[in-house]
Structure 1
């Protein structure tokens, strides 16, 4: 076996750099050396706040070539504090010659990296990359959806939010975007990819509605405020629970 490998290396025109090593097997100093080569010199690796399992370096095989790409999230702090930082994401791919190449890079100015997850939003069987940066307490955060189209990565959607979640329905996955209304109350949209953009999806909203209802009933139990009833009624209307919405509107007057 060893002799066969030597023959291949000598007569097959191969070199050690062309032997593909799975990305997730690159660890420790080797991984960090490669990452340092591509990330900005003034950037530091940073993990997103959510989900709790988020990491600054993730691996995923977008193009199903059995060689996982590397997703890196980082922060470039402003020279003058407390000015906003630049939060960035970079996706690296290992080519057949063994060299790594940067396929995607983007930056958003903000105060925190809030969200970073792989999820099949487009429904084509390949995970998309979702990341969100917090702009400010009032402005909330900005979500970006990055999609692999077979040849390159493209940003296909962006969505403002104050809180975010994913909801799984019948053969489809949606995004729940909570938008601040008043105080700690929120109006909630549940969105699904329709082939061109993110749009409201009533079926997914009905699936997610119990979570919204529980949230507001807990709030109302502590403080019977009109804006909680208003936001609950908004959710009930979107979930086609019109009778319940009518009751909530009356209670909120």
Structure 2
């Protein structure tokens, strides 16, 4: 198996321009940016390959034609490094999409979801979909998992605080997936619980914790966190912003009391 993979890499190298250097991903393990998958649902696999030519990244699609691999499409990449490179069922369960994360800055990457049409890589994701951290998994709603992947995007704000949003493909675009908030924002809340332990007097970490607890449906905890934020000397978060969140939390607690 290793020998077959080694031979495949050598074959791909022989098809690329002489000055091309394969890009190697470093997480979760070091490996060449090569994917073999059925990207167009024709029951035949294609190869997606990422490489650099004089520090400029490129993506090529290779297809086996008459028992010979051939480059059928090439596009220039973005940024200076490739952080994410996977074939995933984002827009369809019948074929794979190519999902790329291009590093633009130390804490900023660009997420691109592409569909191979047979002639080109068509970008499905909206432009300027930036992230600092990324989670892609089938997240459970109150009905459980449905086999559809959700995308959690963490975008750096300041310090170690992030704006977090969750998306899912719906019809022809990415839409916010609020039904999985209770599952995923518990994870976000755990992150900010660690932050407020390290920085107990920093108002924006308490705000972020409260917001995460609110989205996770942990309203009593969210109220305690927002009250803590309001008791601190506010440097980064306005009182108006804190009070707006507190009003939302109280309305949820009140509606819950009425329900029961």
TM beyond 0.5: yes
Using the alignment, how far apart are the partners of 1:212 and 1:195 within structure 2? 28
Hey, what does 1:214 align to over in structure 2?
190
Give the structure 1 partner of residue 10 of structure 2: 32
Deviation string for 1:144-175 (max 9, x for gaps)?
10123577532111521011111313222111
1:150-229 alignment runs, 5 A limit: 153-158=121-126, 159-169=129-139, 170-171=145-146, 172-224=148-200, 225-229=202-206
1:48 to 1, 25, 29: 25
Pick from 51, 54, 58 the counterpart of residue 88 of structure 1: 58
Contact (CA 8 Å) 1:61, 1:69: kept in 2 or not? yes
**How high is the TM-score relative to the length of structure 2?**
0.73
Distance 1:63 1:222, change over 3 A: same
Question: Is the CA contact 2:161–2:205 (under 8 Å) kept in the aligned structure 1?
Answer: yes
Displacement of 1:59 in angstroms is 1.2
Please tell me whether residue 141 in structure 1 is matched to residue 109 in structure 2. yes
RMSD across aligned C-alpha pairs, in angstroms? 2.7
Cα pair 2:78 2:104 within 8 Å, conserved: yes
Q: Which runs of 5+ in 1 are unaligned?
A: 1-23, 78-84
Change (3 A) 1:160 1:92: same
Quick one: distance in 2 between partners of 1:42 and 1:73? 13
Separation in 1, partners of 2:90, 2:43: 22
Q: Residue 92 and residue 124 in structure 1: after superposition, are their counterparts in 2 closer, same or farther (change >3 A)?
A: same
Structure 2 CA distance for partners of 1:106 and 1:62, relative to 1, 3 Å: same
Where does structure 1 differ by over 4 angstroms across 4 or more consecutive aligned residues? 24-27, 149-152, 240-243
CA deviation after TM superposition for structure 1 residue 243, in Å: 4.3
Corresponding position: 1:126 with 2:95: yes
TM-score (norm 1): 0.75
| Alignment-derived partner of residue 61 in structure 1 | 38
Helix, strand or coil at the partner of 1:157: coil
The alpha-carbon deviation at position 31 of structure 1 amounts to 4.4
| Change beyond 3 A, Cα 1:27–1:166 | closer
- Write the distance in 2 (CA, Å) between the matches of 1:235 and 1:173: 21
Distance verdict in 2 for CA 1:167–1:247, change over 3 Å: farther
Q: Which moved more, 1:214-223 or 1:68-77?
A: 68-77
- Contact 1:114/1:132 (8 A) holds in 2: yes
Of residues 225-234 and 46-55 in structure 1, the stretch that sits farther from structure 2 once superposed is 46-55
Find the residue that maps to 2:222 and give its secondary structure.
helix
Secondary structure of 1:252's match? helix
Q: Give the number of aligned pairs.
A: 220
